[in-house]
Amino acid sequence: MAELSERDGRVEIRAPSPSDGRRLAELWRLLWDVHEGWGSYPGSREERVYDELAARLSEEARSRGASAVSGRHVHLVASVRGEAVGQVEGWLDRHGVTRAVRWTCEVRSLVVSEDARHLGAARALLARLAGVAGELTAGAPAVLAAEVLEDNPAMAFYRKLGFRTPSYAVRLAAEAARALPFHTTRARLARPRDALALTFLEANLAERRRAAGDCRFDPPRALDAAGVDAIARHLEGAEPRLRLDPADLAVGDARGVARASGTLTFANLEPPFLPGVRAILARVSHDTCLPAVEALGPLVRLAGQLAHLAGARHLEVVDLPAPGSALYEAARGLGAAPWSRVALRDVG
């Protein structure tokens, strides 16, 4: 397509239509190819995969009617003269239980064709996504949240729109993670008797998020018996049994008291990604009396072992404070490379 100009008409933001399937699949392929160049997980090169994707997108649009919303999922298309030139998806969720927690609209697969980027399509897509999120939450406080890869130049675009970055992630090979040397502390699966210590660690994590301006999660809460009991009951049935089950991890001191914690989760990579497993170590927190490297090193080592067993080639360590912080620099010292950051902006 030749480069579009302002004379070609204004950008229209609308719900996807069944006739958009092929064009949207082409945009997805563009998105995957570009992200792979920035080090992301590889996408398929098989035409069959994109044919199936086009058919699925057309069928999803048909089932939605003329609506951009299906449950908590939002799908918007930018078009010029009726032809799709960009798209964005959003997923609405809440990551806490208190009233202080804002709704999160996760920005997914934002892409605009190169010939239309000067028309403001990406800005218009995000503006409409924020509007839809506000409608779905009935005006309750909400944020847009976009994970932006480290090498993605779009971070400058997000900053220009007022996004802030309270959370960072790093990544290393699972093979390298599981081969890390032992520290004076050792990681293990968390146990019910860790509940009290984990409650304190959860409070540390909540305070770190609050200080960074991350309003997607519960703020620090007062320690109470009900909270400790809830964690203990969760851990009683949380031991992983299947290869991709999540795992709650803890780092114990010489007396066995948990001084650091994290949660390892897995996700299957679906087409158009090549088949694979994504391993993510999140919710890392540690007793500030324990050096960050003594807390994080054992967690990453055990997570790397479990990730390798699950078939994951890489381990992402997410929800970290900013570069320069002790925890982030400890992760870099373990051999992890900068991977991504979360960009947030208030809705409304």
Can you list the domains of the chain with their CATH numbers?
6-162 (3.40.630.30), 169-339 (3.40.630.30)
pLDDT in tens, 273-325: 999 999 999 999 999 999 999 999 999 999 999 999 999 999 999 999 999 99
Q: How many residues are there in the chain?
A: 348
Helix (H/G/I), strand (E/B), else coil: 78: strand
Rounded Cα–Cα distance for residues 53 and 48 (Å): 9
Q: What is the pLDDT of residue 345?
A: 98
Quickly list DSSP for 175-238: HHHHTPPP-SSEEEE--GGGHHHHHHHHHHHHHHHHHHT-TTBPPP----HHHHHHHHHHHHT-
Per DSSP, which regions of the chain are E strands?
Answer: 12-14, 69-70, 73-80, 83-93, 103-112, 142-149, 164-173, 186-189, 247-252, 258-269, 276-286, 314-320, 337-346
Using 50 as the pLDDT threshold, list the residues of the chain that sit under it.
1-2, 4-7
Query: Which amino acid is located at 75 in the chain?
Result: H
Check residue 5 and give its pLDDT. Answer: 42
Q: Rounded CA gap, 141 and 319, in Å?
A: 21
The verdict on whether omega for the bond into residue 323 sits within 30 degrees of 0, i.e. cis, is no
* Per-residue tokens: 5: 């100009």
Question: Could you read off the pLDDT of 86-125 as tens digits, one per residue?
Answer: 999 999 999 988 888 999 999 999 999 999 999 999 999 9
Most distant pair of Cα atoms in the chain: their distance: 72
Question: So what's the pLDDT on residue 7?
Answer: 45
Task: State if pTM tops 0.85.
Answer: yes
Residue 117: strand, helix, or coil:
helix
